[in-house]
Amino acid sequence: MNDQQNINMIINNCKDSDKTFAEFIFELLKEKYVEIYLGDSYEDIKFEQVSTSQPAIFCGKVVGAYKECLIIDAVNVENNQLITGNITFINERSIRALTQLDSNGSIDDLFLKSNESKKIKKFLGI
């Protein structure tokens, strides 16, 4: 079963239930590593005439969900080393985007400049 079929199957199983978004994500991505964008920026880098915002994200393994709370085992940097074990509780309402950590790119890769839509149209043949 491919990813799209699995997503559709879980959606169909959840349609008539009272599962929340967090519970749906847990069912879909249990024990998988994800990147979660909160819609904020954690840092603004400013030069003389240019300012760049760095999106605020969490990365970690999806370990649980309770009602509107998604629970991840977060990955963070301590003394220049990646560590886990920081259990983090995220309100589903604060999640703006979420993607599985894999070789298909990051959330940061999805932010495009307006003129890049022309390249996408060309790639898609539209």
Which tens digit of pLDDT belongs to each residue from 29-64?
999 999 999 877 766 677 777 777 777 889 999 999
CA 60 – CA 42 distance, rounded (Å): 17
Give the sheet arrangement for strand 81-91, strand by strand. Answer: 81-91, 69-78, 51-66, 33-46, 97-100
In this predicted structure, what is the pLDDT of residue 12?
82
Full set of structural domains in the chain with CATH: 3-124 (2.30.30.100)
Q: What is the mean pLDDT of residues 68-90?
A: 94
User: φ and ψ at 76, to 5 degrees?
Assistant: -140, 170
Residues above pLDDT 70, as percent of the chain = 97
Please tell me the pTM assigned to this model: 0.78
